[in-house]
Amino acid sequence: AAGVIQSPRHLIKEKRETATLKCYPIPRHDTVYWYQQGPGQDPQFLISFYEKMQSDKGSIPDRFSAQQFSDYHSELNMSSLELGDSALYFCASSPFSGGHEQFFGPGTRLTVL
């Protein structure tokens, strides 16, 4: 069965650089979520999209932005990177918004030097 695809799997950036993470949800899933998991931490919700519209926003810094495109893939754009942005970034997709199981991608490990 098709799973959520995230690219790249690993990314190394310098402070103050920008990064773009991509997510391809499971086919026919119309809801995408982004989470950030710091070392030894639980995943924290950043932002979600339903049918290409932003549906909810969590603890996402103003330096980050995201969108969902017409083919339902989503991108998380991160600017002015800081050391504290080093984390595992997960994308999850769900067949419906609100309360349904979310299937997670393998994550993108971002390291900011």
Partner 1 sequence: AQKVTQAQTEISVVEKEDVTLDCVYETRDTTYYLFWYKQPPSGELVFLIRRNSFDEQNEISGRYSWNFQKSTSSFNFTITASQVVDSAVYFCALSEEYGGSQGNLIFGKGTKLSVKP
Q: Which residues bind partner 1 (CB under 8 A)?
A: 31, 33, 35, 41-45, 48, 55-56, 58, 88, 90, 92, 94, 97-104, 106-107, 109
- CA atoms within a 13 Å half-sphere pointing along the CA-CB vector of 37: 15
Closer CB to partner 1, 75 or 106, in the complex: 106
To the nearest whole angstrom, how small is the minimum distance from the Cβ of residue 16 to partner 1? 27
Return the number of the residue (16 or 40) whose C-beta is nearest partner 1: 40
Q: 14 or 27, CB closer to partner 1? A: 27
- Residue 4 sits at the vertex; the CA angle it makes with 23 and 42, to the nearest 5 degrees, is 80
- Residue 19 has which token pair? 């990064």
**Minimal distance in Å, beta carbon 103 to partner 1?**
6
Q: How far apart are CA 38 and CA 110, in angstroms?
A: 10
How far apart CA 14 and CA 4 sit, in angstroms, is: 27
